[in-house]
Structure 1
Amino acid sequence: MATKKYVIGSIGGAMILAQTLTAFAATPSEISLDDSVALALKNNPAVKIAVQDQEKSNWSIKEAEAGKLPTLSLGLSSTRMPGAASGEPGTNYNTSLKLNWTLYSGGRLEGLIDQAKLNADNSDLGVTKAQQQVKLDATTAYYNVLQAANMVKVNQETVDSLTEHLKSVQAQFAAGTVAKSDVLRSEVELANAQQNFTKAQNAYDVAIASLNNVMGEPLDTERSLKDELAYTEFTMSLDESIEYALQHRPDIFQSKNSVTIAEQGVNIAESGFRPTITMGASDGWSGNEFPGQANNWSVNVMANWNVFDSGITKAKVKQAEAGVDKAIQQDVQTRNGVQLEVRQNYMNMKEAEKRLQTTKVAVDKATEDLKIAKTKYYAGVGTNLDVIDAQLALTQAKTNNTQALYDYNLNKAKLEKSMGL
């Protein structure tokens, strides 16, 4: 498991480095999806926090391993004492050098070291999780900008079409072939379309600011996007996606480690049933001249076995065993949650994929219907209401198609994240 994780981590690190270099090569005003992800990974605090947790966990290993090594302490003291009846006050110095070494802890130190290593392993996986989440956040923000840009385009096309139609209606009204109500209705629909265009433009500006925020850039940075929302088929099946997630999701590895950490907790608790063996050595000097004259040294080996502790150790073992059962259930819960997440994202992606097909047909038919409605109206055999209804239908069809394309790409990105890609 560890080998697989380190291989995955190395590949991920190389990809992140490549993305970062790409971001630096890009011009400030134009940016691709990969550039956005690279900047987010470089600047986002969530990744930096995970890296600091990783550093902290690595030092925790050193702390646990130090428990198996000897310790050496130096003690110094001086005492001022009154002298004899006819003498001057004197000072007595005491200097000591002590060594302590735990030779056998009943398995407690070994368990703490193993726990520290597993916690560090989880921190490494935490960095990967943070990177995957930031990648999804940046991708979502990028797609939001593309979606907003598409909606600006749709609403601009509607405004242009209604503006052209209004001019024709006004010309026909001037010629006396249509009623004033046709002009008024056309003006109202154009005003509504202009209002929707303004809202779409504002949504685009907000989306740009949100993308800049995810990337750690000034919110008012002007950018144009290289990529576009496009359909790219996802070839893996649902079962293959779930299986991949169970083998690659960092949450799964962290969950496994948590079970092992809990099992080590049982070993640590059971160490209270076993004896401990320590070795000590000391050397001391004392006298009225620093550091002292008399030399007193000793070496000892001490074994200690707590034969009866009123059930404290047994209670600790039972608590640790309950912790193992809890960790196992949490592992099951994590696996079920991963599978559910993958399934939901996969099905949402497929649903959007189907909508892509139907909405594309709807756009084609609505475009043709608008042409027919305009032709009939200008020939005097159709109504202005037919034209407006056809225009509204086309705008809705384009909106639905744009939304389906956005939903497909967004759910695909969520699926990839839930799989641990």
Structure 2
Amino acid sequence: MPNIKRLKKPAAAIFAFGLLFMNATLAAAASPELSLDDSIALALKNSPAIKMANADKDKADGGLDAAKTGNLPTLSLGSTYAFQQSQPTLGEDHDFSNSLRLNWQLYSGGRVEGQIDQARKNLDLAGLDVKKTGQQVILDATTAYYNVLQARRMVAVNQETTDSLREHLKDVQVKYEAGVVAKADVLRSEVELANAEQNLTKAQNGYDLAVASLNNIMGVNANSEYALKDELAYAKYDHTFDESMEIAMKNRPDIAQADIGVNVAQDGVKIADSGRLPTIAMTGSTAWNDSVLPDNSNNWAVGLTANFNIFDAGLTKANVKQSQASLDKAREQAQQTRDSVQLEVRKNYLSMQEAEKRIETTNVAVDKAKEDLNIAREKYNAGVGINLDVIDAQVAFTQANTNYLQALYDYNVNKAKLNKAMGVNAGQ
């Protein structure tokens, strides 16, 4: 019998280990790992904003094709059928005529060329809008991912606080039962534990909300669960402020769009001014009667047509004035955009630096708060400390951890915002 018992224990242990391994495997299968790059890729793939921006780009591409037709000939076919009832003695009269007309504008005074240039630049604007939208989606996905990381760490911090206060309450109850401390110590410890449990519930709810927000940005089911691979961490930023500003001035889509907007407005002035110039078109036509297809008896003609507005009641002058005002506005908007980008870069850079300094100080505070908590516990257990010291030390330790996590979060988010302000993707 003893030998049989010795055999059963290892078998039971192996069986239990197998169950744990299987459960862990199933949990891993149910919750696939998700990195920051994975979340960004999903957001870019599923984003409605990017799909709408691409649709606008396709629309602008169609607008360019439409503008180019202004330099191409047009051909139209016309047919007319007429039936006439004449006097009874004369009978019925049927008239069937056809015409084929060609029109080709050879010179429009620069209007068509200006419209083509505008359409081409509008296509460039739409392409930059796709890029700008993508950078905003990257920022949104990055921020949401960091929100989940922070919320997950906050759950861990509050869980640790709750467990610590629960263990401390056990020690207080033992001392109370031994008659060493007063009932007030037990009551105060129970209150602190209840508050900690409430904060833990809030932290867990915050985590669930952060996950739902990330799923929404990634365009996946709200109930999807992932095992996040990354952690909130500190990575030194490589560029100086001047380098960051220089990169922003070169890469920011908003600035490129503003410059193109000025060029589009300049084309508008040229188009408006084309009303002062003549237009020249080549025309051709042929006509035939009483047959579907042309016959040898049809007439045809080819010619050039020139048109020059000698007096248009000031319409061209008014159009030029409007277009010039639009150009002046576009130039002011371009400068305003540059100023806004510079302010955005400065704001995010300084906020990132401020968070970086807080990381250093709060990290030291965590170590000191942990040491202070250990000392307070040891003194209380030794009978030379008071319960309030332990509770205060626990609160300080929890706050120090919270401050450290907030500093890490602020640093990473502001760095992501800075990348977006510079017109580059995360990690560049």
Normalising by structure 2, we get a TM-score of 0.90
Structure with max Cα Rg: 2
Q: By how many angstroms is 1:90 displaced?
A: 2.2
Secondary structure of residue in 2 paired with 1:86: coil
Counterpart-to-counterpart distance in 2, 1:322 and 1:370 = 69
Counterpart-to-counterpart distance in 2, 1:34 and 1:27 = 20
Counterpart-to-counterpart distance in 2, 1:282 and 1:84 = 35
Is the CA contact (8 Å cut-off) linking 2:32 and 2:226 kept in structure 1? Answer: yes
Paired residue for 1:417? Answer: 420
* C-alpha distance 27-97 of structure 1, shift in aligned 2 (>3 A): farther
Counterpart-to-counterpart distance in 2, 1:91 and 1:347 = 87
Please show how residues 336-415 of structure 1 align to structure 2 within 5 Å: 336-415=339-418
C-alpha distance after superposition, 1:46-71 (max 9, x if no partner): 11111111111111111000010000
Counterpart-to-counterpart distance in 1, 2:380 and 2:281 = 101
C-alpha distance after superposition, 1:363-413 (max 9, x if no partner): 111111111111111111111011101100110010000000000000000
Counterpart-to-counterpart distance in 2, 1:154 and 1:254 = 46
Counterpart-to-counterpart distance in 1, 2:232 and 2:394 = 24
Match of 2:132 among 121, 129, 132: 129
Is the CA contact (8 Å cut-off) linking 1:94 and 1:291 kept in structure 2? Answer: no
* C-alpha distance 224-359 of structure 1, shift in aligned 2 (>3 A): same
Counterpart-to-counterpart distance in 1, 2:271 and 2:70 = 14
Is the CA contact (8 Å cut-off) linking 2:31 and 2:227 kept in structure 1? Answer: no
Q: Could you list the runs of 5+ residues in structure 1 that have no partner in the other structure?
A: 1-25
* C-alpha distance 256-292 of structure 1, shift in aligned 2 (>3 A): closer
Counterpart-to-counterpart distance in 1, 2:270 and 2:66 = 19
Counterpart-to-counterpart distance in 2, 1:51 and 1:324 = 27
Match of 1:310 among 289, 308, 313: 313
For 1:194, give the aligned amino acid. Answer: E
Q: By how many angstroms is 1:225 displaced?
A: 0.1
Counterpart-to-counterpart distance in 1, 2:320 and 2:340 = 30
Secondary structure of residue in 2 paired with 1:67: helix
* C-alpha distance 28-54 of structure 1, shift in aligned 2 (>3 A): farther
C-alpha distance after superposition, 1:9-66 (max 9, x if no partner): xxxxxxxxxxxxxxxxx99621100000001100110111111111111111110000
Is the CA contact (8 Å cut-off) linking 2:36 and 2:230 kept in structure 1? Answer: yes
Pairing 1:57–2:60 present: yes
How much is the aligned-residue C-alpha RMSD, in angstroms? Answer: 1.3
Paired residue for 1:193? Answer: 196
C-alpha distance after superposition, 1:176-223 (max 9, x if no partner): 100010001000000000000000001001111111111110000111
Pairing 1:42–2:41 present: no
% identity of equivalent residues: 59
Pairing 1:239–2:242 present: yes
Paired residue for 1:9? Answer: none
For 2:331, give the aligned amino acid. Answer: I
Please show how residues 148-167 of structure 1 align to structure 2 within 5 Å: 148-167=151-170
For 2:256, give the aligned amino acid. Answer: F
Match of 1:74 among 69, 73, 77: 77
C-alpha distance after superposition, 1:124-144 (max 9, x if no partner): 111111111111111111000
Paired residue for 1:98? Answer: 101
Paired residue for 2:214? Answer: 211
Q: By how many angstroms is 1:88 displaced?
A: 2.2
Counterpart-to-counterpart distance in 2, 1:368 and 1:278 = 90
Q: By how many angstroms is 1:87 displaced?
A: 2.9
Q: By how many angstroms is 1:83 displaced?
A: 3.7
Paired residue for 2:145? Answer: 142
Is the CA contact (8 Å cut-off) linking 2:46 and 2:218 kept in structure 1? Answer: yes
Matched positions, count: 395
Counterpart-to-counterpart distance in 1, 2:374 and 2:106 = 91
* C-alpha distance 297-27 of structure 1, shift in aligned 2 (>3 A): farther
Counterpart-to-counterpart distance in 2, 1:244 and 1:405 = 25
Counterpart-to-counterpart distance in 1, 2:130 and 2:61 = 13
Paired residue for 1:331? Answer: 334
Is the CA contact (8 Å cut-off) linking 1:270 and 1:313 kept in structure 2? Answer: yes
Counterpart-to-counterpart distance in 2, 1:94 and 1:353 = 84
Q: Could you list the runs of 5+ residues in structure 2 that have no partner in the other structure?
A: 1-28
Counterpart-to-counterpart distance in 1, 2:262 and 2:292 = 56
For 1:238, give the aligned amino acid. Answer: F
For 1:158, give the aligned amino acid. Answer: T
Normalising by structure 1, we get a TM-score of 0.92
